[in-house]
């Protein structure tokens, strides 16, 4: 498929899990965007890129080469999907080169770094966004719709889990105990869970956390719990776990009128990993009725149809923001707010104390 001459040209840095399963397919499926170049030095991945996206997509061996070539073949957007430790330097370099940037979560290691990038983007008048695709999970969209309807009444407690059964560590930087790698579940899955909680219930006032390394050979946290008290009064309890032999509910939300309980994960990641791709006009993110959640009380409950998941909406909104000059679907300041909670959680887990958010900025 050839790009239209008016399409915005995208350079993707990294073709591991994030780049190959999420960013590249979603960019390719977005009207108005064209995947122009992908940075990877791995010959097998270079062949994979051409097999999946055609020989018209350039493969570049390094980010240095991509930026050096930008003058001869201008790009409109850089997407950073490389290891976490590279997010800040690559994003800064792209912004300083006058390019809009999308960065896979987490945007940075600290809120201060994220705020500094946001300030640089503002000064240059450039788009900077964090890729928080799970705002477009089917269950999250359904949950937001129930809240908008007032179906639960006043919400008291929000429980959210992202659990797996991986008793043997897979290795790699994501499970490294080196702080420079920004690995572990708190920053990996916690970035999603905290972003969702803040999106639903607003800023956090305080954070309590427990964090452990359960598996022999694991270098970073693989069993972590956060209790977030929001300024709105809602309490969010968030679990992320790699050693859950039986999985708890993905969502459990308790309100003054009813509760909502949902099991299972949004189907989009599994579909993308299996090679499925969003096609315009074709169903996408559809969940079978057997996986729908329930809303009700002890006296009775009803099944709630899950809204369709919509990861393509993220890059569609990026394309619109680039053309119209509006805000991106996820802002860098929102990413910084999430990082403040993650930093507070790290401090809380180490001290055993509940940490007010002001302390996380010290």
Instruction: For residues 129 and 360, give the distance between their C-alpha atoms in angstroms, rounded to a whole number.
Output: 22
What CATH number is associated with residue 321?
Answer: 3.40.50.720
266 in Cβ contact with 139 (< 8 Å)? yes
Q: For residues 95 and 178, state if they share a domain.
A: no
Instruction: For residues 29 and 14, give the distance between their C-alpha atoms in angstroms, rounded to a whole number.
Output: 18
Q: Pick from 303, 121, 157: which is nearest to 234 by CA?
A: 157
Give every strand in the sheet of 293-297, ordered side by side.
Answer: 300-304, 293-297, 259-262, 251-255, 155-163, 235-241, 223-230, 204-212, 355-356
pLDDT at residue 5, as a whole number: 61
pLDDT at residue 281, as a whole number: 87
pLDDT at residue 3, as a whole number: 56
Instruction: For residues 316 and 29, give the distance between their C-alpha atoms in angstroms, rounded to a whole number.
Output: 9
Question: Does residue 335 belong to any structural domain of this protein?
Answer: no
Q: For residues 112 and 75, state if they share a domain.
A: yes
Q: For residues 349 and 219, state if they share a domain.
A: yes
Q: For residues 26 and 158, state if they share a domain.
A: no
Question: Does residue 204 belong to any structural domain of this protein?
Answer: yes
Q: For residues 216 and 168, state if they share a domain.
A: yes
Residue 327, Cβ neighbours under 10 Å: how many? 13
Contacts of 150 (CB under 8 A, 6+ apart): none
Question: Does residue 276 belong to any structural domain of this protein?
Answer: yes
Q: For residues 216 and 347, state if they share a domain.
A: yes
Residue 137 half-sphere exposure toward CB, CA atoms < 13 A: 22
Question: Does residue 2 belong to any structural domain of this protein?
Answer: no
Question: Does residue 331 belong to any structural domain of this protein?
Answer: no
Give the total number of structural domains in the chain: 2
Question: Does residue 300 belong to any structural domain of this protein?
Answer: yes
Q: For residues 114 and 144, state if they share a domain.
A: no
Residue 86 sits in which domain range? 8-133+314-326
pLDDT at residue 51, as a whole number: 95
Q: For residues 44 and 103, state if they share a domain.
A: yes
Residue entry with tokens 């006058």:
98
What CATH number is associated with residue 245?
Answer: 3.30.360.10
pLDDT at residue 361, as a whole number: 44
pLDDT of the chain along its 362 residues, tens only? Answer: 445 668 999 999 999 999 999 999 999 999 999 999 999 999 999 999 999 999 999 999 999 999 998 766 789 999 999 999 999 999 999 999 999 999 999 999 999 999 999 999 999 999 999 999 999 999 999 999 999 999 999 999 999 999 999 999 988 989 988 899 999 999 999 999 999 999 999 999 999 999 999 999 889 999 999 999 999 999 999 999 999 999 999 999 999 999 999 999 999 999 999 999 999 889 999 999 999 999 999 999 999 999 999 999 999 999 999 999 999 999 999 999 999 999 999 999 999 999 999 744 43
Question: Does residue 82 belong to any structural domain of this protein?
Answer: yes
Q: For residues 98 and 165, state if they share a domain.
A: no
Q: For residues 246 and 220, state if they share a domain.
A: yes
Question: Does residue 125 belong to any structural domain of this protein?
Answer: yes
Backbone angles phi, psi at 145, to 5 degrees: -65, -40
Alpha helices in the chain (DSSP H): 17, 24-28, 43-53, 63-69, 87-96, 111-124, 138-149, 185-201, 268-273, 312-324, 332-351
Q: For residues 261 and 239, state if they share a domain.
A: yes
Q: For residues 66 and 192, state if they share a domain.
A: no
């Amino acid at each position: 498929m050839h790009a239209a001459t008016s399409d915005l040209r995208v350079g993707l840095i990294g073709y591991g899990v994030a780049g190959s399963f999420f960013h590249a397919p979603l960019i390719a499926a977005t009207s108005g965007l064209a995947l122009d170049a992908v940075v990877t030095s791995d010959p097998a991945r270079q062949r994979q890129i051409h097999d999946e996206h055609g020989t018209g997509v350039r493969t570049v061996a390094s980010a240095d080469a991509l930026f050096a070539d930008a003058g001869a073949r201008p790009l409109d957007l850089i997407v950073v999907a490389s290891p976490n430790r590279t997010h800040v330097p690559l994003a800064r370099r792209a912004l300083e080169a006058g390019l809009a940037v999308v960065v896979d979560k987490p945007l940075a290691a600290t809120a201060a770094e994220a705020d500094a990038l946001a300030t640089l983007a503002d000064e240059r008048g450039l788009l900077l966004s964090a890729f928080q695709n799970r705002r477009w999970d089917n269950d999250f969209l359904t949950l937001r719709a129930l809240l908008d309807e007032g179906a639960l009444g006043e919400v008291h407690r929000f429980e959210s889990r992202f659990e797996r059964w991986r008793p043997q560590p897979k290795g790699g930087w994501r499970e490294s105990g080196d702080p420079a790698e920004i690995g572990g579940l708190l920053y990996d899955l916690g970035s999603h869970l905290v972003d969702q909680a803040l999106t639903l219930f607003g800023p956090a006032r305080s954070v309590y956390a427990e964090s452990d390394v359960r598996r022999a050979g694991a270098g970073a946290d693989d069993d972590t719990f956060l209790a977030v008290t929001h300024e709105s009064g809602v309490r969010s309890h968030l679990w992320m776990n790699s050693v859950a032999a039986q999985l708890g509910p993905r969502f459990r939300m308790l309100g003054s009128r009813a509760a909502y309980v949902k099991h299972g994960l949004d189907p989009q990641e599994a579909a993308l990993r299996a090679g499925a791709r969003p096609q315009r006009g074709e169903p996408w993110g559809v969940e079978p009725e057997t996986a729908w959640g329930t809303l009700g009380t002890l006296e009775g409950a009803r099944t709630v149809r899950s809204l369709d998941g919509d990861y393509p909406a993220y890059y569609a909104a990026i394309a619109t923001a680039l053309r119209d000059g509006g805000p991106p679907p996820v802002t860098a300041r929102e990413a910084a707010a999430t990082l403040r909670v993650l930093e507070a959680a790290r401090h809380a887990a180490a001290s055993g104390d509940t940490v007010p958010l002001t302390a996380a900025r010290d």
